[in-house]
């Protein structure tokens, strides 16, 4: 699954026994059955558990579901019946399944060669999302069939079997029936063993209106007229491979499609809203290239006959990897050749590649339990970059990985309220909390570090062994480490356990021990990095990581001259061939998941290489990112970071600028505490970016490509936000020409132009954007406008924007991003968005409870505060109004507010004085 929240800017506790040692490590020595038993015991007794929980008993397990469903898109209900081939492992007089919001009319059991036995009682455990089907006597051990009839609702919750509203070409409001079963919502559609390890095959039959498209995981093997109503058709699909319930999918609605096939004959279709099939061509191109790429990379063919990708109007996540039928938000799949931005094109390539990677990593081999979620998401998040780089090498996507994933994960993982990559999960309420940047982005980052350490050849070999050994089965993290360790001959498990079992990451302190005319000896020490050094209230001395560390020098800036495995508290490293005036850089390519604090002499030597760009882009990015983190945490003065930024005046790389711009945004929100300093920082930013802005201009030059388009958009937006008169004037001029249709505004310029005009305009400009929003039928354009509406500064207009967010004109899955836009653009909006969220909490929580979107709402509306008073306000509010799926996010936001408060107390006066002196 690709979470919109993880990439939208484009969206604990452990049982540790010591450094790098965890109770989970003992599972390595057990058989898979024994490990499963230990897991079940562990998860049901975890002290941090929010609710009592136990996994389903294995006395009766599924083998095959023969599932029949008849959805009604008028009354929003569905009828269902199923015959489940089961295996009874132990004598029992009941069968326990997962079930939620389903009414079971009848159930019976037929043992092999015996007569059917009707159930004696059907009792629902609503809190535990289970149903117990009781029988008058013990069921015999062996094979049997569980029959049941049931009904359910096509809900409006964007989970389970739900309805998705769309508007047809003639303006008529219509609905599609759609599924979203990950993590634990197949149970909302049919009673089932809704756990990833309870795999089975599925034979699906859908009864639907004749004029609608009906899709499932597999290809259609029979189509006939429904005997009871000739306006309906019966669609029977081929049997699926053995798979988990959360990967089953159905879609019923009106769609067009484009079709092609891969080089090895797999039929690929991209389904779009009616009349928009051309918008599926880019995704189709990516899919037909990515599937053969993965086949070759993993050494295993894609096992299904077809691959469908479909755009859904109402969809919570970015996409979902259902085997053979991947569902997407429209903005994650559709590309309009004239109105889609370079940013969206790249986003679609990444999301499509992510979901197709899951067809092997997640679908073919599945994590044994949600504790190992990162096995699915971390690896897919890493592989999406490999495939996108293969399909579109000009995107320079690996440099963007550093800021999109590595930096994002480091920011979150430096908090006291982070969690390990692997964290015990029990009750379904807890699962949504770990669909976050730790499971996705930190997971991908440590895999990238591992890949770089053992090399691509060993990585591919190990992946092939792992996937073949566990195909159509379930696996633990340790199974993967064993395969990669055997393939590389390196201590993979020993090293990687220190990254997956403990929270956080290290900072390496580096000093010169000795220097000669032709060598340098460095003294290294590692310690846990914390986002707020003032809040350290635990002993981190036991924290220790096994860190692959490489070194580059001015004579070899692109290739490491030395590599070590740093697995002690301190060490010394001698590097030969380094002249006295040469620079030395740790972590070349920024592959390592750690920060570096250089001594002043080592840092001073690096800055000229930043200024003349002889230091590679990923290293320029990583250097300033580390400097900023050290400053914001209190390890170094913030003024040192501001001084170092001067070296980036000549920067030309989009991704470096993107990360610098992110730091500028953070400082903007910090300086909302002081109007004068905020104004001076705008002047400082204008000076910093002026050369780049002048070089980029407004029009594309011959030979420009994807990255230049992204950079132009970035600098125009930031220059406008900082009050550049020429930028604001030109933005208004270009929007006017776009409105009167004399000159269409390029897609890459729309977001910055909309934001610049609205932030310096008034009610008329807001009405203009709302009119554009109403008139467009491209969801990307609507989203673009929605994310700019927070630029309005007048409180009356902000209130209008917030009311608009909750209106029918904004899809329910997009409302949070409108509110988030208001909360993150400026101080007035931040305050009003938080008040609005509190005032409307009951409505918002009911709308999004049990979804990751509630976490996104909490994050957007709280984290930009920076006083102890506001930390207490947020804390008090959520004590009275708990958000079960966002408890960790609440704690993270409160911690970040206090971190900013401490930062301002510590450095605020010095920052204000420095800005005043340097912008006079």
Both tokens assigned to 322 = 């259902």
Cα–Cα distance between 67 and 696 in angstroms, integer? Answer: 58
Residue-level length of the chain: 920
Residue 912 banded pLDDT, cuts 50, 70, 90: very high
Residue 385 banded pLDDT, cuts 50, 70, 90: very high
Burial of 251 (0-12, 13-18, 19+ CB in 10 A): buried
DSSP 493-525: HHHHHHHHSSSS-EEEEEEEEEE-SSEEEEEEE
Residue-wise pLDDT for 6-38, tens only, equals 444 333 322 222 323 232 233 323 333 333 333
- DSSP code at position 885: G
Phi/psi region, residue 396 (left: phi>0; alpha: psi -120 to 50; beta: rest), is left
Both tokens assigned to 514 = 């000795």
Strands 21-22 and 319-320: unpaired
Both tokens assigned to 529 = 């990095």
Mean pLDDT of the chain: 91
pLDDT for residue 894 is more than 50: yes
- What is the sign of the dihedral through the CA atoms of 339, 5, 247 and 134? negative
52-253: CATH class? mainly beta
Q: Tell me, what's the pLDDT at 26?
A: 31
pLDDT for residue 420 is more than 70: yes
Q: Tell me, what's the pLDDT at 538?
A: 63
pLDDT for residue 564 is more than 90: yes
Cα–Cα distance between 322 and 217 in angstroms, integer? Answer: 7
Name the CATH code of domain 505-634 (choices 2.60.40.1910, 3.90.800.10, 3.30.70.270, 3.40.50.150): 2.60.40.1910
Q: Tell me, what's the pLDDT at 169?
A: 76
Q: Tell me, what's the pLDDT at 453?
A: 97
Q: Tell me, what's the pLDDT at 573?
A: 96
Strands 213-216 and 250-253: antiparallel
Range of 16-30, 269-283, 535-549, 808-822 with top mean pLDDT: 269-283
Residue-wise pLDDT for 35-70, tens only, equals 333 333 333 333 344 567 889 999 999 999 999 999
Cα–Cα distance between 752 and 750 in angstroms, integer? Answer: 6
Q: Tell me, what's the pLDDT at 536?
A: 61
Average pLDDT over residues 154-161: 93
Q: Tell me, what's the pLDDT at 11?
A: 38
DSSP 55-70: PPPSSEEEEEEEEEEE
Q: CA gyration radius for the chain?
A: 28
pLDDT for residue 135 is more than 50: yes
Cα–Cα distance between 183 and 168 in angstroms, integer? Answer: 31
Q: Tell me, what's the pLDDT at 27?
A: 30
CB 717 within 8 A of CB 754: no
Query: Do 505-634 and 761-919 share a fold?
Result: no
Residue 161 banded pLDDT, cuts 50, 70, 90: very high
Three-state secondary structure call for residue 549: strand
Place of tokens 């859904």: 312
> What number of other Cβ atoms are within 10 A of residue 137's Cβ?
9
pLDDT for residue 593 is more than 50: yes
Name the CATH code of domain 761-919 (choices 1.25.50.20, 1.10.10.60, 3.40.980.10, 3.30.310.80): 1.25.50.20
- In degrees and rounded to multiples of 5, residue 36 shows phi and psi of -60, -40
Three-state secondary structure call for residue 594: coil
Alpha helices of 395-442 — where are they, by DSSP H? 397-401, 407-413, 428-431
CB 536 within 8 A of CB 554: no
CB 553 within 8 A of CB 576: no
Alpha helices of 826-867 — where are they, by DSSP H? 827-839, 841-848, 853-862
Residue-wise pLDDT for 747-788, tens only, equals 999 999 999 999 999 999 999 999 999 999 899 999 999 999
Q: Tell me, what's the pLDDT at 13?
A: 29
Alpha helices of 646-674 — where are they, by DSSP H? 654-670
Annotated binding site: 354, 358, 377
Annotated binding site for Zn(2+): 354, 358, 377
Percent over 90 (pLDDT), the chain: 83
Output the pTM of the full model.
Answer: 0.91
- What is the sign of the dihedral through the CA atoms of 516, 517, 518 and 522? positive
Residue-wise pLDDT for 437-454, tens only, equals 888 999 999 999 999 999
Residue 904 banded pLDDT, cuts 50, 70, 90: very high
Place of tokens 């800036």: 557
**β-strand partners of 510:** 524, 598
Residue 3 banded pLDDT, cuts 50, 70, 90: low
Place of tokens 């608009």: 804
Write b or e for each residue in 348-375: b if 16 or more Cβ atoms lie within 10 A of its Cβ, otherwise e.
bbbbbbbbbbbbbbbbbbbbbbbbbbbb
Q: Tell me, what's the pLDDT at 543?
A: 87
**β-strand partners of 166:** 174
Q: Tell me, what's the pLDDT at 539?
A: 64
pLDDT for residue 897 is more than 50: yes
> What number of other Cβ atoms are within 10 A of residue 401's Cβ?
25
Both tokens assigned to 226 = 């429904």
The residue extents of the domains of the chain are 52-253, 505-634, 761-919
Both tokens assigned to 316 = 């919570």
CA dihedral 670, 675, 676, 682 (to 10 degrees): 60
pLDDT for residue 537 is more than 90: no
Average pLDDT over residues 352-367: 96
Cα–Cα distance between 71 and 300 in angstroms, integer? Answer: 36
**β-strand partners of 225:** 233
Catalytic residues: 355
Taking each helix axis as running N to C, give the angle between helix 763-775 and helix 747-759, from 0 to 180 degrees, rounded to the nearest 10: 150
């Amino acid at each position: 699954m690709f979470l919109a929240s993880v990439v939208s800017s484009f969206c604990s506790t452990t049982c540790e026994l010591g450094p790098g040692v965890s109770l989970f490590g003992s599972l390595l020595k057990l058989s898979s059955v024994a490990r499963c038993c230990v897991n079940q015991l562990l998860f049901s007794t975890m002290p941090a558990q929010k609710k009592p929980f136990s996994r389903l008993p294995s006395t009766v397990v599924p083998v095959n579901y023969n599932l029949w469903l008849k959805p009604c898109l008028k009354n929003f209900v569905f009828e269902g019946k199923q015959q489940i081939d089961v295996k009874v492992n132990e004598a029992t007089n009941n069968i326990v399944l997962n079930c939620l919001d389903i009414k079971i009319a009848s159930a019976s059991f037929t043992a092999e060669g015996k007569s059917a036995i009707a159930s004696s009682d059907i009792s629902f455990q609503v809190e535990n999302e289970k149903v117990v089907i009781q029988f008058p006597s013990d069921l015999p051990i062996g094979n049997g069939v569980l029959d049941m009839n049931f009904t359910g609702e096509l809900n409006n919750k964007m989970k389970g079997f739900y309805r998705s509203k769309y508007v047809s070409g003639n303006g008529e409001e219509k609905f599609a029936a759609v599924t979203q079963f990950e993590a634990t919502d197949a149970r909302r559609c049919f009673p089932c063993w809704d756990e990833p390890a309870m795999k089975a095959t599925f034979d699906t039959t859908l009864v639907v209106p004749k004029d609608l498209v009906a899709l499932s995981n597999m290809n259609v093997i029979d189509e006939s007229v429904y005997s009871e109503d000739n306006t309906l058709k019966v669609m029977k699909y081929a049997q699926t491979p053995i798979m988990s319930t959360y990967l089953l999918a159905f879609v019923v609605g009106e769609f067009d499609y484009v079709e092609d096939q891969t080089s090895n004959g797999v039929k690929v279709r991209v389904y779009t809203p009616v009349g928009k099939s051309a918008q599926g061509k880019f995704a189709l191109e990516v899919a037909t290239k990515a599937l053969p790429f993965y086949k070759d990379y993993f050494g295993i063919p894609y096992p299904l006959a077809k691959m469908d990708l479909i755009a859904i109007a109402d969809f919570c996540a970015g996409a979902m990897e259902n085997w053979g039928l991947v569902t997407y938000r429209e903005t994650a799949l559709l590309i309009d050749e004239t109105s889609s931005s370079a940013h969206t094109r790249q986003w679609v390539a990444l999301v499509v590649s992510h979901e197709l990677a899951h067809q092997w990593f997640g679908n073919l081999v599945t994590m044994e339990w949600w504790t190992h979620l990162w096995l699915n998401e971390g690896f897919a998040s890493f592989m999406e970059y490999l495939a996108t780089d293969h399909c579109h090498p000009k995107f320079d996507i690996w440099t963007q990985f550093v800021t999109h994933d590595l930096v994002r994960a480091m920011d979150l993982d430096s908090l006291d309220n982070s969690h390990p990559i692997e964290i015990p999960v029990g009750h379904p309420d807890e699962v949504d909390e770990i669909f976050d940047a730790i499971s996705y982005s930190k997971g991908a980052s440590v895999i990238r570090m591992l890949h770089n350490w053992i090399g691509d050849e060993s990585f591919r070999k190990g992946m092939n062994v792992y996937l073949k050994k566990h195909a159509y089965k379930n696996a633990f993290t340790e199974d993967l480490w064993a395969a990669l360790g055997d393939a590389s001959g390196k201590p993979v498990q020993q090293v990687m356990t220190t990254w997956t079992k403990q929270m956080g990451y290290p900072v390496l302190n580096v000093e010169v021990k000795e220097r000669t005319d032709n060598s340098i000896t460095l003294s290294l020490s590692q310690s846990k990095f914390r986002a707020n050094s003032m809040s350290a209230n635990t002993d981190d001395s036991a924290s220790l990581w096994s860190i692959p560390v490489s070194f580059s020098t001015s004579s070899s800036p692109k290739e490491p001259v030395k590599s070590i495995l740093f697995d002690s508290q301190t060490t010394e490293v001698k590097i030969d061939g380094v002249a006295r005036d040469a620079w030395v850089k740790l972590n070349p390519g920024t592959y390592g998941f750690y920060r570096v604090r250089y001594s002043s002499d080592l840092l001073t030597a690096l800055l000229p290489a930043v200024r003349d760009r002889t230091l590679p882009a990923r290293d320029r990015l990583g250097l300033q990112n580390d400097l900023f983190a050290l400053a914001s945490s209190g390890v170094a003065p913030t003024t040192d970071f501001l001084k170092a930024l001067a070296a980036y005046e000549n920067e030309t790389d989009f991704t470096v600028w993107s990360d610098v711009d992110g730091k500028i945004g953070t400082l903007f929100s910090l300086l909302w505490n002081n109007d004068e300093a905020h104004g001076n920082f705008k002047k400082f930013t204008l000076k910093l970016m002026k050369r780049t802005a002048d070089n980029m201009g407004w029009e594309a030059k011959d030979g420009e490509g994807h990255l230049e388009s992204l950079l132009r958009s970035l600098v125009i937006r930031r220059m406008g936000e900082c009050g550049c008169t020429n930028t604001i004037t030109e933005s208004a001029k270009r929007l006017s020409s776009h409105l009167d249709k004399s000159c269409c505004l390029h897609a890459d310029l729309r977001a910055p132009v909309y934001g610049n005009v609205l932030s310096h305009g008034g009610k008329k400009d807001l009405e203009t954007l709302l009119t554009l929003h109403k008139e467009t039928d491209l969801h990307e354009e609507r989203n673009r406008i929605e994310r700019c509406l927070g630029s309005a500064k007048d409180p009356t207009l902000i209130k209008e924007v917030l009311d608009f967010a909750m209106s029918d004109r904004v899809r329910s899955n997009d409302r949070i991003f409108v509110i988030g836009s208001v909360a993150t653009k400026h101080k007035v909006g931040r305050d009003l968005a938080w008040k609005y969220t509190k005032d409307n909490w009951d409505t918002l929580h009911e709308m999004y409870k049990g979804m990751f979107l509630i976490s996104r709402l909490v994050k957007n509306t709280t984290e930009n505060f920076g006083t102890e008073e506001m930390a207490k306000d947020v804390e008090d509010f959520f004590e009275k109004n708990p958000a079960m799926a966002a408890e960790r996010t609440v704690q993270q936001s409160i911690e970040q507010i206090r971190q900013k408060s401490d930062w301002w107390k510590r450095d605020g006066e010095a920052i204000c004085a420095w800005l005043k002196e340097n912008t006079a």
